[in-house]
Each structure stands twice: as C-alpha cells, then as structure tokens.
Structure 1
Amino acid sequence: MKKKLFLKQQADRLTNGQIDRRQFIMSAMAAGVVLPTAMSMADKAMAATPKKGGTLRIGSGHGSTTDSMDPGTYENGFSLGMGFMYGNCLTEVSNTGELIPELAESFESADAKTWVFKLRKGVEFHNGKTLTAEDVIATYAHHRGEESKSAAKGLLTAVTDIRADGDDTVVFELSAPNADFPYIVSDYHLIILPSKDGKVDPLAGIGTGGYVIQTFEPGVKVIGTRNPNYWKEGRAHFDEVQILSIVDVTARQNALMGGDVDLIDRVDPKTVNLLGRNPAIDILETTGTLHYTFPMRLDVPPFDNYDLRMALKLAVKRQELVDKILLGHGALGNDHPISPATSFYAPDIPQREFDRDKAMHHYKKSGHSGKIQLSTSDAAFAGAVDAAQLIAASAAECGIEIEVVREPKDGYWSNVWNKKGWCACYWGGRPTADWMFSAAYVADTEWNDTAWKDTPAAKEFNDLVVKARAELDNAKRAAMYKRCQELIRDDGGALVPMFANYIMGVSKKLMHDDAVAANWELDGGKAHERWWFG
C-alpha cells in the first residue's frame, strides 16, 4: 500500500512538472519497479498530462440545415456542442456529475427564492468586452421575453425579476422557492452573451468560451479556434475544433475508422463490437439520463383519446426493444422521463409490460379503427426505424394497425418532431426531476412535445411541479415527484420504452480524465474543452 501511494505521488509530481521523466523512472526503480515497467508508467503518466495543440474533429450524429446560432433555438447535440464551444453558463455540471460554478464564482440563497450569483472578475468576451451583470440580465431577457420562442422560456417562468447589484452580482427573484434553480442556469441554451444597450445579438456567436467561432454552416459544420484569453485554467487545449454533422451512422463510423474524425457520438449498438476491434479506436460508454421516446401529441387526433394512448403503451414489447435495438446497452423505460441514475426516481412504480388483452380492451374502448401513422427516422436515434417496425409488429398482435412513415433525416427536428401526431424522439434527460419536467412536460414549455396540458391529470401535474420546487423537505418532495411520474406514465402522451447508454467511438490519440460526464454525450458536450491529444 505504501509503495502504491509513493508511486502515485511520484506520478502526480511528474504530471505537474515537479520532476522529469528520468527522475520518475529512477524513483520507481528505487521502490522496486523493474526498468521496463517504470518506463511504461512514466509514459502513461506523461500522456495523462494535458497538452496544447492539434485539431479535434468531432463527427456528430446531429445537425440540420435549419440550425441557427441563436442559443434559444438549440435542439440537438450539434447545437449543444457549438454552444459550449464558444459560450459558458453561470454554472456547469462537472465531469464527475457535480454542479459547480462557471461564470458565477459563487451562488447562494437563504430561502431558495432569492438567488444571488457572484460573477467572476476579469472574464472577457471574444469581442473584448468585460463580463458584467448587465450581460447576464440581457441574455436572460432574450429567453424570457413575451414574444420569445426560446426553448428555455419554460425553465424560467418562475423568475419574476432579475437585477444587478453592482457590476459583478446578479440577483434572481423567483415566484416560489426552488432548491434546484442553480441547476437550471447550467442549461445549454443559457450561455451568456455580450450586451449592448441592454440587448444581445443571439446570432453573433460571441461568448466567453474556449473557442472563437470562425465558420458556421448549418447542418454541415462549425469550426472554432482556441480563445487565447480563455479564463479557465487548464481547459480548451486544442488549436482548433471542428464539429462535423454526419447524421448517417454508417458514414459517421466509417469516418472514425478512416481517420477522418477523432471522435464520434451515437455509435450504433449493432456495430459497436466491430468498431471496438479497430486497434486505433476505443469505445467509451456512459450511463445517465438518455432515453428514447415516441411522443403522442394530445392536440392531434386520435391521440387526444386516453384509451388509445393507453392501448399503444400496453402494445409495446419493451424488453424486445432493449434487446434488439440497444443490444443490452440500456434499460427498460416506464413511460416517464426520470432515470434510475437520478435522484427522486420512484422505483416502486410498477413496470409497464406488454399486455395483449388490456391493449385490446383499451383499443376497443377508444372506438378507433384504421391505420395509425408513426413517423420515424434514424435522425431520432440509431435504430429508430427498426424500433418503430417492432412497435408496429407487437401492436398488430393486439389488433392495432400502425403505418410506419419513414421521414427524411434532414429537417426531421424542424418538420416532424413537435409537429406530427406521433414520432420517434430522444431526450438527453436532465440531472434533476424538476429540470426534466420543466424542459419537456410543463404546460408552458415550447418543448412539450406531447401537448399534454389540459387534462385533469396534466393540471394536477403542473400544480405539483410548482409545489415540489418550493418543498425543501426531501421526503415530501420525493412523494410529489413520484406522483408526477405516475401522472405522466398513466395519462400523458409520452411512450418511453427504453433508457439508452451513451456509446462513443474515440481515437486512441485522445486523452481525458478518468471521470467522464454522463449528463450529455461527449463528456457533457464539453469534450472539446476537457480533452486533449496524448
């Protein structure tokens, strides 16, 4: 044990530059390590030391020609990565999953209703402007405005006032206490932009982040070069970062195997073993909040019919989807979005299973007849088309006819999702229950892709979400969130059959810390900030 501790200390000294490679090898040999092993240990320790330089090329399974630089419009992993390339939020989720300050050096509240964020001093935007409280206020006004269509608008409905207390302090007043509010301000839509005369230019692509945007072609690529004045010490190591939109999974994986990119997301579970056999590639898998869904919009008939929704939920063979689509790289979903990996997950809610008789009962009770269209595309997730076909096959066993409609990949998120009655979708999830509900299920969020707003259960849900935010007793709060999960599961339009692992393909030239965030793909969307070439 003492020997291991000594070698660890010496490795830390090597990576910190306190000793050189030769000194490390000599000390290791003095501790009884043979020369070849000592040399290997030195190489490994030195490779783990972040180095500056190189061009990181990321092959993203996201992106659309309708993408915009406006953070309020971000709706996929390509946009998320771009936003975190050039911008920062007040807080961030670290690579270990903890909430830590980012542009705010601290945050505090005595009652969870008034939150005070102290900003870091000396932070500069790419245009040379110094960060002040007015930039934060103007940024949030962009998302909160009456005419705003921002996807973050629903997250901020509880904010009644934002004011500056000097140049470096921002005070948020909420309509009710919310213990999770510091998590909310880490949302990737809420990167802080520079203001002028009280307004921001959301299309300028100017932030405080590690890279300065040089090129942005929607649905094609975004390129940034290292910000020489980046305020984060030990971050943003690459000279240049390229995020390339390669939505087709085969093309994306071929690009990695051919050395055209260094890192890809959304590896197809069907080919993960083949990809992993390539000696130049590592497979990185993390388990978090990612879930695949098939939202039914209650404002599009026949999905306004409770019995029809219930019939479809009961007509799905979930384990078959996990086995055949995820190939075991995931877990069963229970028609609500709260992951077992997060707090306030309610494990005692019975797992919904395929039930032919009950599905037939509800379908007959619905009075519906004829085909039901299900729009899908592998733009939603790898295997989404096959998953829809499996759902159609199991539904047919219950006397329900589903017509699977294959939609074009490009424009899927702007033309199909959140518009057509029933489609395939994915959600990266959120680290807290309130955040997940606020992003996708409360009545006033733009991303309520089930339009679940007006039923008695939906109204009870919306009331409970507000009450739970203000409840500081965790046991009472857990009971409220359990009821929220039950309401979505039983009445909502969300069909959530499975939670999926994030599977990434990584060039062995790339290095990263042992801990890799699982709140989003690619180390929480910040691989370009946190990783380096060995």
Structure 2
Amino acid sequence: MTVHRRHKCFHLITALAMGASLLALSACSSGAAADPAGSAAGATPKPGGNLRVGIVGGSAKDTLDAHAPVTHPDEARAIQLYDTLASYDNDHKIQMALADTVSPSADGASWTVHLRDGLKFSDGTPITADDVVFTFKRITDPKAPMAGAAALSTLKRDALTATDARTVLFPFSAPYATFPDTVAQYTSGIVPASYDPKKPVSSGPFVLDSFTPGQQSVFVKNPHYWRAGQPYLDKVTIVDFPDDTARVNALLGGQVDAIDQLPLGQVNVVKANPAMKVLESSTGSWLPFTMRVDQAPFNDPKVREAFRLIVDRKQMVDQVLGGHGSVGNDMYSPLDACFPSDVAQRSQDIDKAKSLLAEAGKSNLSVELVTSPAAAGLVEAAQVFAQQAKAAGVTVNVKKVDPGEFYGDQYLKWNFSQDFWFTRDYLPQTAASGLSGAPYNETHWDDQEWLALVTRAQATTDEAARCGLIKQAQKIEFDRGGYIIWGFPNSVDAHSSAVIGLVPDKSGIPLTSFGFRNVWLNK
C-alpha cells in the first residue's frame, strides 16, 4: 500500500523532559500540498462536480454537532464541516492541520498550540486562538460534556488561555503525554466562539447546504478553506442507507458515486463491473460484543471469560468478514505501538466455557443479544455467535433492531450487545469507551486497578515506561473486561471508476477521513 502524506514536509521534534521524551509536532510549511492518489499517478485534479456518497446507518436522531457524533453519517458530516488542530495521515501517523505546531512544556504538564497564519471560517471570519479556547471549553463543559471530554479530564479548564491571536496554552493537572492524539480526533473539530450546531459555520473543506436527519446532507465547497486549491469538488451529498441492499443497488444503478462498507458478498459483483472499483484498507477498526459488567449474568467474570471462550475467531473472520480482516484477541488498538502482541492468542475452548458457566451457576444460560445493521458485519456476527454458543449450552436470542432504535434511548443500556469502533490508539480509545466517565462506556467498565494504570500511562512521558503500563492495562481487559473482540475488519468500500483520489487508509473510514477534499470526478 502506498501512503500519501498530506504536507510537503512533516517533522517530529523530540523534546527531552525529566530524562524522558515527548513529541512536539510541527509542519514545515504554512500551506498544504495536495497529494491524492490520482495526482501521484500523474493525473491532474479536475475541479467541480457533485459527489454522491451512500453511508451506512442514520436515523431521525442524526446530528450536525461537531462534538457529539454517534453514527457513521454523523461522523461523515463532522469530517466535512470541521477541521482539527492535528490529524492523521493514511498510515495513522499524526500530522499538523489547523495548527502548525503543538509543543509540550519540559515536564509535559502543559502544551502550546500555535495556529497557521491566515485561517478563516467559511463565513470569512478569522479562526483565532479564542475560537480554539471556546471549542475546548465547550467540549469539557461540566454541565454538558461532549464526546471528547473524558480524554481531557485533567485539563485545567479555567486556565485554558489564548496568549495571543494564534497561540493557546493548554495547562493540565499532570503530565499529558498523548495530547496530540486527543486534538487529532474528529470529535475535536474547531468551531467559532459563536457556534450554533443547527447553523454550523465551517472550519473544514465543505459548508452545509441542507440537512434532513435520517435521509441526506448536502455540502458545498468552503470558499475560505485553508488548504490551497482544495477541495476540488463543488458539492458533496451524503445519503443515509440503513439497508445494505439499497446502498449497493444505488451504487450499481448510478444513484450514488461511492458507498462505504460494501457487503462482502457483493465484492466480486462490484469487481466484475468495469465501471466500479473496490477500495480495501487494513485498519485497526473493531466490532466488539459488549457485556455489561454491572449486570447479571455478566457481573460475574467467569461468565465473561466463558463467553470469550465460546468464540471461534477464525470462523468468525472467515464467515462474517469473508477473510477480509484479521483475528482479534480481546484487546483493541492493534496499531498502537504499545499493543501487547505477545499475549497468547485466545482460542475457542467449549469444555472450559462449560466448566466456568457451571462454576458460576449459569449452566444452560439463556441471553438476549441486541444487534443492528448499524455497521457492516454486526448482524452476521451476532448470528454466528448464537450458533457457536449452542455447543456450550448457551441459548442466544438475537434481537435485531434498526439503527435508530439501537442508538436511541437504550444505547449504552443494552445488557449484551455490539458496537463498531474505528482506528484509535489505546489511551484515546479508553477515554472514549473505557473510563467510567467516558461518553460511550458500553460495558459500564469501572475497574480501579485498570484505572490507576491508565491514569499513570496518560501522565508518563517516557514512551517505554508508558508502553509497559498500557500493556498491563490491556492484559486486565483481556482477563476480565467487558469486551469480546473477535477480529479487526478491513474497510471494504466501493466507488465508481469516475471517482479519483480515494486511497487505502488505516483509519477505518477511508471514504470520509479527509473530508473528500482530495477527491475529484473524472466525468
């Protein structure tokens, strides 16, 4: 896979602190060079056109809020509308975006962010340090904390300061080693101090034209976007498709130009069509089964271990993903440099699962598993698990609901369910789903030994020492956490051959990870 960096130059500057190391990030140019796949191959980007994209999921509860995306369409909208201070390249490496430097203090307890020169919102007003302060105060508002709030729990919010028009000081109550990861998350998009999520002003490549929740969103080119010459498209239309068949038919019938999460049974059909292309990316995405550790029967760690031993992971990857992915080992963030790949692979052990259930007094257990076509593979995985569980004497009653209900009032309350996650490193992922105050703590995980390790890791500036702590924390989740992580699916998307500029991307969302700013239409 060819990795295309989005800047002419990118530096990692090592700052020694207390005998350890922190990374300060900087971009060597205040401008941005486009390097999409087509131009790298010698093609010249063609401006104009309307890209129509079918995205899985969506409901009447869809949102435009920069800091509260839940579903795939929510995330796609956020990425079109809002740029972040830093971002990731196709290989999941951090690079600069609205900021041109992100630098730690000597002890790592504060970070200084410096904005690029000449940045503007879509209405032509300058993007300033005051807007950055507002954005992060909004995210961390104790009365209404947003999706990124848990990752910033040690931020001294009242001391967050704009030291000049382009510089912001982020002070923390302890060293914060992974701050650049936090500001690169798509839930940290920069908004103006006058922000109204119902009438969003954009810092990203596109501006909202219209929005019908559960149906579609239309965006037009941001005339003040900071990346020179981008986006190439005049318009992007995102269409919600809860139904896989309808989404594929829309692509094959020419109603849309691209779709995410191509059903794997349709890969060969699309490949056989000379007017279509399949885009496959290896990623760190994961589709967990979620067990609430605070509710019976999953409040017993023996039951949780038994359920992990029920799974035939290779069969799951082969049957659910059609081989388009890799086997998991009940630990997430496989692309993190600290991932404990030396932990022995857990495999199916029906006899031990039966024994553990008997010890817990849960032989012949019957449970309900709530699933939804909210992401490709969820429903199929639920059905395969239900079949595998029979061998252990467990009856799994699969309850399929639509995405609107799945992410409705009961979301995070389901006792035994599923979810989807895109690529994140370990500590940012814990802030999203693991900490007791995390916005999406679907397993209701609250383990004090684990929390102490994660807290220490977040404050540890030496990478080797931080990795040691992360590996210990991962092992605790492996042993007694609330997730069953059976595999890491490749991202398999499809598009018309007239769509140029899409490339494989480890984020798990290659169609939207760069806000379609590199894409153009050759028609």
1:223 to 218, 222, 245: 218
Unaligned runs of 5+ in 1: 1-42
SS at match of 2:287: strand
Equivalent-residue separation in structure 1 for 2:418 and 2:204 (angstroms): 33
Give the 3-state SS of the residue equivalent to 1:72 in structure 2: coil
Confirm whether residue 121 of structure 1 aligns to residue 117 of structure 2: yes
Counterpart for residue 34 of structure 2: none
| Structure 1 partner of 2:81 | 86
Taking the aligned partners of 2:154 and 2:512, their CA distance within structure 1 comes to: 26
**TM-score (normalizing by structure 2):** 0.88
Instruction: Find the counterpart in structure 1 of residue 149 from structure 2.
Output: 153
* 1:528 aligned onto 2:516: yes
State which of 475, 494, 498 in structure 2 corresponds to 1:486: 475
Q: What amino acid maps onto 1:452 in structure 2?
A: W
Structure 1 residues 175-254: aligned runs within 5 Å:
175-196=173-194, 200-254=195-249
CA contact (8 A) 1:211 1:225 kept: yes
Give 1:144's aligned amino acid: T
Q: Partner of 2:438 in structure 1?
A: 445
Pick aligned residue for 1:112 from 108, 115, 124: 108
Contact kept in structure 1, 2:205 and 2:515, CA below 8 Å: no
For the residue of structure 1 that corresponds to 2:478, the secondary structure is helix
Give, in whole Å, the separation in 1 of the partners of 2:404 and 2:112.
42
Q: Using a 3 Å threshold, how does the CA distance of structure 1 residues 480 and 524 change in structure 2: closer, same or farther?
A: farther
| Letter paired with 2:175 | P
Q: Which residue of 2 aligns with 1:16?
A: none
Mapped to 2, the partners of 1:181 and 1:362 lie a distance apart of 41
User: Alpha carbons of 1:383 and 1:44: their partners in 2 closer, same or farther (altered >3 Å)?
Assistant: closer
Show CA shifts across 1:339-389 (max 9, x none).
1x331111111111110111011111222354211111222x323223212
CA contact (8 A) 1:337 1:429 kept: no
Runs of 4+ in structure 1 deviating by more than 3 angstroms, as ranges, are: 43-47
SS at match of 1:67: coil
CA distance in 2 between counterparts of 1:482 and 1:201 reads: 41
- The 5-angstrom pairing of residues 84-483 of structure 1 reads 84-110=79-105, 111-161=107-157, 162-196=160-194, 200-339=195-334, 341-368=335-362, 370-379=365-374, 381-430=375-424, 432-453=425-446, 458-483=447-472
SS at 2:450 equivalent: helix
Query: Which amino acid letter does the alignment assign opposite residue 342 of structure 2?
Result: D
1:220: Cα distance to partner? Answer: 0.9
After TM superposition, the score normalised by the length of structure 1 is 0.86
Output the aligned Cα RMSD: 1.8
Specify the SS of the correspondent of 1:410: helix
SS at match of 2:461: coil
CA contact (8 A) 2:204 2:515 kept: no
Instruction: Please state if 1:497 is matched with 2:490.
Output: no
Sequence identity (%): 31
Cα deviation digits, residues 313-353 of structure 1 (max 9, x gap): 111111111010101100111112121x3311111111111
Inter-partner Cα distance in structure 2 for 1:322 and 1:435: 26
Counterparts of 1:435 and 1:484 in 2: how far apart (Å)? Answer: 14
Cα distance between partner residues in 2 of 1:96 and 1:408: 33
Cα deviation 1:200-247 (Å, max 9, x = unaligned): 333322122221101011111110111122111132110111011112
Matches within 5 A, 1:496-515: 496-512=485-501
1:410 CA drift (Å): 3.0
Unaligned ranges ≥5, structure 2: 1-37
User: Does the 8 A contact of 1:72 with 1:149 survive in 2?
Assistant: no
| 2:110 and 2:176 in contact (8 A); partners too | no
Paired amino acid for 1:151: A
Q: Pick which of 365-374 and 179-188 moved more.
A: 365-374
Residues 135 and 195, structure 1, Cα contact 8 Å, conserved in 2: yes
Displacement of 1:290: 0.8
Report Cα offsets for 1:295-316 as digits up to 9, x if no partner.
1112332221211111111111
- State the Cα distance separating 1:527 from its structure 2 match: 4.9
Shift of 1:166: 1.0
Instruction: Give the AA of the match of 2:277.
Output: D
Q: Per-residue displacement from partner, 1:416-473 (whole Å, max 9, x unpaired)?
A: 431211112111131x2211222111221111111011xxxx2111111111122233
Q: Is the 8 A contact 1:193 1:202 kept in 2?
A: no
Q: What is the match of residue 29 of structure 1?
A: none
Partner residue, 2:22: none
The amino acid of 1:135's aligned partner reads: D
Q: Secondary structure at the match of 2:113?
A: strand
Q: Output one character per residue of 1:11-54: Cα deviation in whole Å (capped at 9) or x when no partner.
A: xxxxxxxxxxxxxxxxxxxxxxxxxxxxxxxx998862222110
